[in-house]
Amino acid sequence: MSNFNVFKDFIKSLRFRLIILFILMGVIPGMVLWAGVLNSYEQRAVSIKTSEILGQAKILVNQIVSNDYLNNTDSVIISAELQQLSNIYDGKIMLIDSGFRVVKDTYDIDTGKIIISKEVIQSYKGTDITKYDPESRYIEIVTPLLKTNVATGEQAPIGVMMISVSTDSINLNMEYLGTNIFVIQMICGMLVIILAVWLSIHLTKPLKKMSLSIDEIETGYGTGKLIIHDYTETLEICEKFNSLLGRMKVLDESRQEFVSNVSHELKTPLTSMKVLADSINSMGDAPVELYKEFMADIGQEIDRETKIINDLLSLVKMDKSAADLNIVSLNINELLEQILKRLKPIAEKQQVELVFESFRPVIADVDEVKITLAFSNLIENAIKYNNPEGWVRVSLNADHQYMYLKVEDNGMGIPEADMDHIFERFYRVDKSHSREIGGTGLGLAITRSAILMHKGAVKVFSTEGEGTIFNVRIPLKYIV
Ligand SMILES: Nc1ncnc2c1ncn2[C@@H]1O[C@H](COP(=O)(O)OP(=O)(O)OP(=O)(O)O)[C@@H](O)[C@H]1O
Ligand SMILES: [Mg+2]
């Protein structure tokens, strides 16, 4: 196998899929956790910093308003406090008056400039505005400077304090955290991969074992039975495999037996002919009568050989699928009368009385050739395996679903021990006795196949020395 094919097989294997599955199961939750932890740290750190600064700013706002710092920025204390806050949080603080003019900028860049931003306008209406911009990495806090009217007690904005602080420290922490998590993630990932490979090898081991055992059985080194009881599933597969193997062995044995039977049966008439021919040849000048007699015997053997071959051909045809059936609606009474008419001379020769009894006209969907073969053989057997002065009774009946054929005789009967085998190919009761009656033992095998092809059933009852009954049941309408 080429390297590419080995790789392709590995990709397709259960082992590879399990490895991928375990890795995904191990790594995906880690990644989600990683993103989740970093994200929630960022939000939490930003919100803590914002509220901390806002708290400090509120204290300053009160001092600014009460000292009227907006109009007079000379207060050294407030200026120093603003500067301190600006230094602590590494941010710029601006005080903007009601004319949106920057009165104070701790960075001294924008003093005197006009700032009309959305946040400033919103905050001027009396609310605290906070904004976090992760892209530019800064937090902006805008809080209103509210002055209380002594007479009415109402608060009115006189300006806003705007603080912009950098979030570099938060981002730095996040980077540090991210690197740490990444390292942990890598270590966990390696462990997960090792575990995944180990687990998948361990889990698929029984299947490998199974395939090896099957190889051993195939090459003949195994015990001939597959037993892998690691999982319930493997045990189930083993049981099914063993039963399949058993059936295959039985089939193989029956095939071998069939072949040897066929060869034997085909050889017998040939041997007889050879003996007859040799003996007539060895007699220098035999009389013509003897030649004629021997030739008649040879002719009989040829007939026998032809019958065996014809029977075998019929059997082979029966083994084919049911699609080969040529189903027609047939008058069974007429069919049986024809068969009986054909068999009458043989019955008369054997001095056997042949009676046909029909309870009703029966029309059924059958394959005429095959069903004729089946019925003929049953009736012929009843005549053949009978005694002089014996009788054969054929009766036909039907209900709305099935037709019933009964072939009954008071002949020699079938011994109990042979009953299970008479439908087997080439099986004949008492070979020596059967030989003089003549037959190949294929008749009942053909009969049974034909009946089964019509989804019917055949049963036999027999008492040795008393007689035999064959009961056949076939559906009137052919079931596909
Ligand atoms: N009605 C019967 N009475 C007694 N024995 C029977 C009867 N029918 C069948 N048998 C026995 O069953 C055997 C098998 O029958 P089957 O019809 O298959 O073969 P056969 O009659 O010997 O040969 P073939 O039918 O192929 O010419 C027969 O050899 C016979 O011993
Ligand atoms: Mg027969």
Distance of CA 445 to the CA centre of its chain: 38
Domains defined along the chain, listed by start: 15-173 (3.30.450.20), 225-318 (1.10.287.130), 320-475 (3.30.565.10)
**299 CA to centre of ligand 1 in angstroms:** 23
| Structural contact between residues 20 and 175, judged by C-beta atoms closer than 8 angstroms | no
**259 CA to centre of ligand 1 in angstroms:** 20
**161 CA to centre of ligand 2 in angstroms:** 118
Distance of CA 282 to the CA centre of its chain: 72
Atom of ligand 1 nearest to the CA of 467: 3
| Structural contact between residues 329 and 367, judged by C-beta atoms closer than 8 angstroms | no
**442 CA to centre of ligand 1 in angstroms:** 8
Ligand nearest to the CA of 423: 1
Ligand nearest to the CA of 418: 1
Q: What are the φ/ψ torsions at residue 353 (nearest 5 degrees)?
A: -80, 130
Q: Would you tell me how many other CB atoms lie within 10 Å of the CB of residue 172? A: 10
Q: What are the φ/ψ torsions at residue 349 (nearest 5 degrees)?
A: -60, -40
| Structural contact between residues 230 and 213, judged by C-beta atoms closer than 8 angstroms | no
Tokens of 143: 């809080």
**439 CA to centre of ligand 1 in angstroms:** 8
Atom of ligand 1 nearest to the CA of 428: 29
Q: How far is the C-alpha of 480 from the C-alpha of 206, rounded, in Å?
A: 43
Concatenated DSSP letters of 76-111:
HHHHHHHHHHHHHTTEEEEEEETTSBEEEETTSSST
Mutate to test the pocket of ligand 1, among 372, 407, 428 (most ligand atoms within 8 A of CB): 428
Ligand nearest to the CA of 419: 1
Mutate to test the pocket of ligand 1, among 314, 381, 459 (most ligand atoms within 8 A of CB): 381
Max distance between CA atoms of the chain, in angstroms, equals 165
> Please, which residues bridge with residue 331 across strands?
363
Ligand nearest to the CA of 440: 1
**372 CA to centre of ligand 2 in angstroms:** 13
Question: Where does 320-390 have alpha helices with state H?
Answer: 332-349, 368-384
Q: What's the full length of the chain, in residues?
A: 480
Residues 6+ apart with CB under 8 A from 405: 332, 336, 375, 378, 394, 395, 396, 471, 472, 474
Q: Tell which residue, 22, 361, 359, 27, has the closest CA to residue 186.
A: 27
Residues with CB under 5 A from ligand 2 (ion): 377, 381, 443
Tokens of 265: 């049966």
> Please, which residues bridge with residue 474 across strands?
403
Ligand 1 first shell, C-beta below 6 A: 311, 377, 381-382, 385, 409, 411-414, 422, 427-429, 434, 439-445, 468
Q: Tell which residue, 188, 152, 168, has the closest CA to residue 29.
A: 188
Residue closest by Cα to atom 19 of ligand 1: 441
pLDDT tens, N- to C-terminus, the chain (480 residues): 678 888 888 889 898 999 999 989 888 988 898 899 999 999 999 999 999 999 999 999 999 998 889 888 888 999 999 999 999 988 999 999 989 999 999 998 999 999 999 999 999 988 999 999 989 899 999 999 998 888 888 888 899 999 999 998 899 999 999 999 999 989 998 999 999 999 999 999 999 999 998 898 888 776 778 888 888 999 999 999 999 999 898 888 888 888 888 888 888 889 889 999 998 889 888 889 999 999 999 999 999 899 889 888 888 877 766 667 889 999 999 999 999 999 998 999 999 999 999 999 999 999 998 899 899 999 999 999 999 999 999 999 999 999 999 999 999 999 999 999 999 888 888 765 555 677 788 899 989 999 999 999 999 999 999 999 999 999 999 877
Ligand nearest to the CA of 431: 1
Mutate to test the pocket of ligand 1, among 262, 392, 419, 422 (most ligand atoms within 8 A of CB): 422
